[in-house]
Structure 1
Amino acid sequence: MRITVLSGGVGGARFVSGVRGWARRDAAAQGLPDDDAHDIRVVVNTGDDWWLAGLRIAPDHDSLLYSLSGQNDQDRGWGRRDETERVASELQTWGVTPEWFTLGDLDLGVHIARTAWLRGGVPLGEVYRRLGARWQLGATLVPATEDEIDTYVHTADGQRMHFQEWWTRHRASIPAVRFENADIERARPAGEALDAVADADVILLAPSNPVVSIGPILGIPGMRDALRAASAPVVGVAPVIGGRVVRGMADACLTAIGVDTDAAAIARHYRTRHAGGVLDGWLVAEEDAASVAGLTADGIASRAVPLWMRDADTSATLAGDAIALAQNLR
């Protein structure tokens, strides 16, 4: 089975790890090697990327890379395990990097390699391939676009700042009124991303931030059209449980675009394919089971399932529930 996931953020990385876990369970049940039964491709949000100290930083890609490779720091929830920060301290002493954004030494090695390749003219998709080749990921990561579409936040007090400053430094405490992806109107979906959508048997929207993780992917001209034209069903997973975000400050992003922090409201924000949106199916938490009937009546096939990804097993079970709904919709 060819499974394509649109993903961003730590929640997306956990979900993709769950998809791989489900695929390996299924392969074992069929008596096949771990990664032979299913082809998992992940279309990665690049809107969080930014330039810092002359280096191209890609938080969403790296969260996936570290999670799938087992290199992630599970205590902090971000970055690499067994990390040191000597270089970061030196950079901050020189005033080259801000104190609110720390780059670990191992993490810096990834950023330097990425930047060196990009500066040498290597396409971003090939950079992803080279970085992923170091470990056995069990999935192929592809950028949503080769173009830079950095996210900027327009705040209620008139500021315009990069998303990373608003999110990491200010913890989304300054009310936002608008999100902007620079030059996105001139961007194009990466060829590998379009192929991943067109060739898929199942397309999943990870429980990532709808505004700044999935939103930039869908905002690339041509991406929504590709999803609407896909033969595979598109199933999303709610990033909200019982009216509360699972991780991070996605509620601040949703408020800025006038969407309630509610699983059903987010599904209606994505809209059904027949109404010009992208969804065929939607998973909500058991705590939000009351919304299933209304969503189904609106044309979004919905199910209430356990949504908490507490460990590898629960993440794989959630991925299996999303895939099962997609298979039913076929």
Structure 2
Amino acid sequence: MPAPRIVVLAGGVGGAKFVRGLRQHCRTVWPDGQGGTTALITVVVNTGDDLWLAGLRITPDLDSLLYALAGVNDTARGWGRAGESERVSGELTAYGVGWPWFTLGDLDLGTHIARTALLKQGLPLSAVVERLSARWPLGVRLVPATDDEVETHVLVHEDGEARELHFEEWWVRTRAKLAAERFVQAGAESAQPAPAVAPALAAADVVLLAPSNPVVSIGTILGVPGLRDALLATPAPIIGVSPIIGGSAVRGMADACLKAIGVATSADAVGRHYGARSSGGLLDGWLVDRSDAAVVEGLTADGIPSRAVPLWMHDDTASAAIAAEALALAER
């Protein structure tokens, strides 16, 4: 198989782990002789978590992927930069600016300041991401799902009143303990995919759905007007990796998000939520964990060819093995 053109739809930390593994696998199978790969990997990243805070444009999922691929992420916390200090956040809190429960590290703030400055100069987000990515040899191309400001909001009841919270406030401040009644993509009605998205999907040999949150990561990407159509128009096989193992979310609180849309927290329920491409859904194939092997036969009978493989992303080697299985299923 020649070096493929791969498009990945991904959210934050889980998506970053998967893409690191994919990059490692591609470097092994299709090396370029310089420590990289001849495979072309484009990652379409969720921007629904983005927000303005203290005058800065924050892009949590793009930054998680950027830092992880650059090897400068904080692996202990799972987010942010390694070796961080938080003096500036302490000063902001003292002045009553920003969210005291949403801590931004000093190195991280450097990224946000640079991004905001470039946006204020008139650059679209995709061009800004390209500028920031050029600092490190990432080995993949990061592309925001949209250059437009489309933010995920959550409708909840708090203290007896109906409220609409930014997703990050619901996720970080409340730890998703307030029942989500509905997710809203504020600004989506006038948005469109970033310019590089449709061409990348049209030219792809394989499209992979990372094991990211199916509601507020992958679902938010697909909610950008025109993006789902561009995905369905690709001639490439679309292979998904389950973010649910043994009835539990691999990371975060995806179960709270799935409950809000009436989908069970199980590998087969999420697979059926995405649907078989042969029946108008998305998937040409679906990977589940070995602990969920019992659902493979039923999913396959429903038009979603599935395989049970180890899905725990303990390290890059394990993630690379998962990526290899996804590509193998696509080739079949």
TM-score (norm 2): 0.96
Counterpart of 2:17 in 1: which secondary structure?
helix
Instruction: State which drifts further: 107-116 or 192-201.
Output: 192-201
Choose which of 10, 22, 26 in structure 2 pairs with 1:23: 26
Say yes or no: does 1:198 pair with 2:199: no
Report the number of matched residues.
326
Say yes or no: does 1:105 pair with 2:109: no
Identity of aligned residues (%): 61
Distance 2:313 2:12 in 1: 14
Contact 1:22–1:319 (CA<8 Å) still a contact in 2? yes
Counterpart of 2:214 in 1: which secondary structure?
coil
How many angstroms does 1:32 deviate by?
3.5
Counterpart of 2:288 in 1: which secondary structure?
strand
Give 1:153's aligned residue: 154
Contact 2:26–2:37 (CA<8 Å) still a contact in 1? no
Distance 1:41 1:32 in 2: 20
Render the CA deviation track for 1:204-253: whole Å, top value 9, x for unaligned.
00000000000111111111111111010000000000000011000000
Give 1:12's aligned residue: 15
Distance 1:276 1:55 in 2: 40
Give 1:168's aligned residue: 172
Contact 1:10–1:60 (CA<8 Å) still a contact in 2? yes
Choose which of 178, 182, 185 in structure 2 pairs with 1:181: 185
Choose which of 313, 318, 321 in structure 1 pairs with 2:317: 313
Distance 2:156 2:261 in 1: 12
Contact 1:27–1:33 (CA<8 Å) still a contact in 2? no
Distance 1:99 1:143 in 2: 27
Say yes or no: does 1:276 pair with 2:280: yes
Distance 2:248 2:268 in 1: 12
Give 2:120's aligned residue: 119
How many angstroms does 1:185 deviate by?
2.1
Q: 1:65-84 to 2 correspondence within 5 Å? A: 65-84=66-85
Say yes or no: does 1:41 pair with 2:51: no
Q: Which runs of 4+ in 1 moved over 6 A?
A: none
Q: 1:188-267 to 2 correspondence within 5 Å? A: 188-267=192-271
How many angstroms does 1:27 deviate by?
2.7
The answer for unaligned runs of 5 or more in structure 2 is none
Contact 1:84–1:104 (CA<8 Å) still a contact in 2? yes
RMSD of equivalent CA atoms: 1.0
Give 2:97's aligned residue: 96
The residue identity in structure 2 corresponding to 1:175 is: A
Contact 1:15–1:319 (CA<8 Å) still a contact in 2? yes
Distance 1:129 1:99 in 2: 30
Contact 2:37–2:139 (CA<8 Å) still a contact in 1? no
Choose which of 312, 325, 328 in structure 1 pairs with 2:329: 325
Contact 2:208–2:326 (CA<8 Å) still a contact in 1? yes
Distance 1:227 1:160 in 2: 30
Contact 1:2–1:201 (CA<8 Å) still a contact in 2? yes
TM-score (norm 1): 0.97
Contact 2:48–2:150 (CA<8 Å) still a contact in 1? yes
Render the CA deviation track for 1:179-205: whole Å, top value 9, x for unaligned.
001021221111101111111101000
Counterpart of 1:117 in 2: which secondary structure?
helix
Counterpart of 2:181 in 1: which secondary structure?
strand
Say yes or no: does 1:296 pair with 2:319: no
How many angstroms does 1:39 deviate by?
0.6
How many angstroms does 1:156 deviate by?
4.0
Instruction: State which drifts further: 246-255 or 193-202.
Output: 193-202
The answer for unaligned runs of 5 or more in structure 1 is none
Contact 2:8–2:43 (CA<8 Å) still a contact in 1? yes
The residue identity in structure 2 corresponding to 1:101 is: F
Contact 1:26–1:37 (CA<8 Å) still a contact in 2? no
Give 1:59's aligned residue: 60
The residue identity in structure 2 corresponding to 1:213 is: S
Render the CA deviation track for 1:135-154: whole Å, top value 9, x for unaligned.
00010001111111100000
